[in-house]
Amino acid sequence: MPSWFGKLQKVACDVLQPRQIIIVGFMGTGKSSVGQELARILARRFVDLDDLIAQREGRSPGEIIEQDGESRFRELETKALGELLDSPDAQVIAAGGGAWASAENRELINSSKAFTVWLAAPFKLCWKRIKAGKEFRPLARSRDEAQRLYAARRPTYHLAAARVPVSDGENPGAIAEKIVELIAPKRA
Ligand code: S3P
66-108: pLDDT as tens digits = 999 999 999 999 999 999 999 888 899 999 999 999 999 999 9
Cα 115 vs. chain centroid, distance in angstroms?
11
Residue 18's pLDDT band (cuts 50, 70, 90):
low
Query: CB–CB of 162/115 below 8 Å?
Result: yes
The closest alpha carbon to 27, from 143, 110, 112, belongs to: 143
Exposure b/e, 74-101, CB count within 10 A at least 16 = b: bebbeebbeebbeeeebbbbbbbbbbbb
The closest alpha carbon to 177, from 43, 77, 41, belongs to: 41
CA 98 / ligand 1 centre spacing (Å): 6
CA 38 / ligand 1 centre spacing (Å): 20
Kindly give, in sequence order, each residue whose CB lies less than 8 Å from that of residue 181, ignoring residues fewer than 6 positions away: 8
Q: Is 58 left (phi over 0), alpha (psi -120 to 50) or beta?
A: left
The closest alpha carbon to 82, from 97, 61, 99, belongs to: 99
Q: Which of 22, 46, 50 to mutate to test the pocket of ligand 1 (most atoms within 8 A of CB)?
A: 50
Say what the alpha-carbon torsion angle 17, 20, 21, 24 is, to the nearest 10 degrees. -170
* pTM for this prediction: 0.92
Residue 183's pLDDT band (cuts 50, 70, 90):
confident
Q: Which of 131, 137, 147 to mutate to test the pocket of ligand 1 (most atoms within 8 A of CB)?
A: 137
Query: Is the Cβ atom of 30 under 6 angstroms away from ligand 1?
Result: no
**Mean of pLDDT over the chain:** 93
CA 161 / ligand 1 centre spacing (Å): 20
Say what the alpha-carbon torsion angle 158, 163, 164, 165 is, to the nearest 10 degrees. 30
The Cα–Cα gap between 37 and 57 comes to: 26
Closest protein CA for atom 15 of ligand 1:
96
Q: Quick check: helix, strand or coil at residue 116?
A: strand
pLDDT of amino acid 188: 43
Percent of the residues in the chain that have a pLDDT greater than 90, as a whole number: 82
CA 56 / ligand 1 centre spacing (Å): 16
